[in-house]
Structure 1
Amino acid sequence: MNILIANDDGVFAPGIQALASALKPLGRVVIVAPEAERSGFSSALTLDRPLKPVQIAPDVWAVNGTPADCVYLSMNGLFDFEFDLVVSGINSGANLGDDVLYSGTVGAAFEGRLMKQPAIAVSLAGPNVRAYEHPADYAAAANWVYQFIANGLPAVPARHILNVNIPDAAELKGMKITYQGRRRQSKPITSLVDPRGRQVFWIGLAGEAVAEPKPGLGGIESDFFAVANGYVSVTPIQMDATNYDILNDLHAHYVQKV
């Protein structure tokens, strides 16, 4: 199996190094990742300048672009072989609920959505997204990912990925299949004046998780619930954002006006 690993924390991030080490027993593992942190880039592609992949070690490449750039290049000519699986991560911090709209980790996985196997986004979820100083935190999460893949990945439809969030816990209680939760409105922006008298802004922090049971799901909980209670959250998410529940009604409404 040829496995492509990308991330949004940069090619030297501890999460991607731990993941590559853990997955090597499964086959050939190739890292193609941004040369520096590119968090929050979602599925952005670089179209205004050339990309320059640089091999910095055997099967390790750094790219002056976004996480999605890394996967796009890898699947479209950078190599003379095909990949069977894309794994993005391990991200430093959770990607839960609405976070997936912004996440470069998820964006890289979505770029690999046409793989023979499901593409996977993996994040290490803890109370402080920059508190992971110990390699053991990532090693434990990487080992869980290895076992998850080695035991056989679940079948999901094309153009779907699996969004995995692993709690930073001394002992995991297990795994839950979850739905994508949502957050309350983001915190207000912070306005400051820089030393030259210019007004600058900091984007506000993400809002708190909303506890909202989903009817008709047979007791399936949200990704937020699973992680908060010590379970690994595995959520199938898709590219197609069409709301089919209202599609026909909306179509009929406007057809009548024509």
Structure 2
Amino acid sequence: MNILIANDDGVFAPGIQALAQALKPLGRVVIVAPESERSGFSSALTLDRPLRPIEVSPDIWAVNGTPADCVYLAMNGLFNFEFDLVVSGINSGANLGDDVLYSGTVGAAFEGRLMRQAAIAVSLAGSNVRSYNSPKDYAVAAKWVHDFIAKGIPILPERHILNINIPDVAQLKGAQVTYQGRRIQSKPITSQVDPRGRQVYWIGLAGEAVTDPKKNELNIQSDFFAVANGFVSITPIHMDATNYSILNHLQQQFLQT
């Protein structure tokens, strides 16, 4: 099996290195990742300048572009062979609920959505006690990903990916299939004046997660709730954002006008 690994933390980030090491027993592993951090780029592609892939060591490529650029290049001519699976991560920090709209980790996985197997985005939520993940944390998380893939990835419809979030590995209880949760409204922007007297703004922090035990109609918990309670969340998400449940109602409204 040929496995393509990308991320949004950069080609030398500890999460991607741990993941590559853990997946090597499953086949050929090739890293194609941004040369530096590109968090928050979602599925953006670079269209205003050329991209420059550089092989920094065998099967490890750095690209002066976005996470989605990396997967696009790897799947469309950078190599003379095809990949069987795309794994994006391991991201430093969770990508839960509304985060998937902005996440470069999820964006890279979505670029691989037409693979033979479902593409996977993997994030490590980490400990609430400290603000960083240690190499050991990433190694444990990467081993979980290896075992998950080795057992056989669940079959999904076309254009779907799996968004996987791993909680604090010291308290890992198991895994749950989850639905995409939501956050409360984002924090306000912060306004400052720079040393030259110009007004500048910082984007506000993400809103608080909704972690109440509310289940959906299928009796399934949210990704936020699962991770907050020590479970890996496995959420199937897809590109089609159409709200089919209101299509007929909306159509009827237009017919009446």
Gaps of 5+ in 2: none
**Structure 1 residues 201 and 149: CA distance shift in structure 2, 3 A:** same
| Deviation string, structure 1 residues 48-86 (Cα, Å, up to 9, x no partner) | 000000000100000000000000001110011110000
| 1:11-160 equivalent positions in 2, closer than 5 A | 11-127=11-127, 131-160=131-160
Q: Given that residues 113 and 161 in structure 1 are in contact (C-alpha distance below 8 angstroms), is that contact kept between their aligned partners in structure 2?
A: yes
Secondary structure at the residue paired with 1:100?
Answer: helix
Q: Which amino acid aligns with 1:41?
A: F
In 2: Cα distance, 1:73 partner to 1:128 partner: 36
| Deviation string, structure 1 residues 74-116 (Cα, Å, up to 9, x no partner) | 1110011110000000000000000000000000000000000
Q: Given that residues 14 and 138 in structure 1 are in contact (C-alpha distance below 8 angstroms), is that contact kept between their aligned partners in structure 2?
A: yes
In 2: Cα distance, 1:57 partner to 1:111 partner: 24
**Structure 1 residues 47 and 112: CA distance shift in structure 2, 3 A:** same
Secondary structure at the residue paired with 1:122?
Answer: strand
What residue number does 1:240 align with? 240
Q: Given that residues 120 and 163 in structure 1 are in contact (C-alpha distance below 8 angstroms), is that contact kept between their aligned partners in structure 2?
A: yes
Q: Which amino acid aligns with 2:15?
A: G
With normalisation by structure 1, the TM-score equals 0.96
Q: Given that residues 11 and 35 in structure 1 are in contact (C-alpha distance below 8 angstroms), is that contact kept between their aligned partners in structure 2?
A: yes
Secondary structure at the residue paired with 1:87?
Answer: strand
**Structure 1 residues 157 and 208: CA distance shift in structure 2, 3 A:** same
In 2: Cα distance, 1:187 partner to 1:212 partner: 24
Q: Which amino acid aligns with 2:218?
A: L
| Deviation string, structure 1 residues 231-253 (Cα, Å, up to 9, x no partner) | 00000001000000001111122
Q: Given that residues 176 and 234 in structure 2 are in contact (C-alpha distance below 8 angstroms), is that contact kept between their aligned partners in structure 1?
A: yes
> 4+ runs of 1 displaced by more than 6 Å?
none
In 1: Cα distance, 2:231 partner to 2:101 partner: 23
Q: Given that residues 92 and 130 in structure 1 are in contact (C-alpha distance below 8 angstroms), is that contact kept between their aligned partners in structure 2?
A: no
What residue number does 1:180 align with? 180
Percent identity over paired residues: 79
Secondary structure at the residue paired with 1:170?
Answer: helix
In 2: Cα distance, 1:172 partner to 1:61 partner: 32
2:9 counterpart of 1:9: yes
Q: Given that residues 5 and 29 in structure 1 are in contact (C-alpha distance below 8 angstroms), is that contact kept between their aligned partners in structure 2?
A: yes
Shift in Å, 1:130:
8.5
When structure 1 is superposed on structure 2, of 119-128 and 64-73 the one drifting more is: 119-128
Q: Given that residues 92 and 129 in structure 1 are in contact (C-alpha distance below 8 angstroms), is that contact kept between their aligned partners in structure 2?
A: no
What residue number does 1:213 align with? 214
With normalisation by structure 2, the TM-score equals 0.96
What residue number does 2:223 align with? 223
Question: How many residues are matched?
Answer: 256
In 1: Cα distance, 2:148 partner to 2:65 partner: 29
Secondary structure at the residue paired with 2:137?
Answer: helix
| Deviation string, structure 1 residues 210-258 (Cα, Å, up to 9, x no partner) | 237244112x10000000000000000010000000011111221343x
Gaps of 5+ in 1: none
Secondary structure at the residue paired with 2:170?
Answer: coil
In 1: Cα distance, 2:128 partner to 2:191 partner: 23
Q: Given that residues 22 and 142 in structure 1 are in contact (C-alpha distance below 8 angstroms), is that contact kept between their aligned partners in structure 2?
A: yes
In 2: Cα distance, 1:77 partner to 1:143 partner: 30
**Structure 1 residues 212 and 242: CA distance shift in structure 2, 3 A:** farther
Secondary structure at the residue paired with 1:155?
Answer: coil
In 1: Cα distance, 2:255 partner to 2:66 partner: 41
Q: Given that residues 94 and 123 in structure 1 are in contact (C-alpha distance below 8 angstroms), is that contact kept between their aligned partners in structure 2?
A: yes
- CA RMSD of superposed structures (Å): 1.4
In 2: Cα distance, 1:107 partner to 1:42 partner: 5
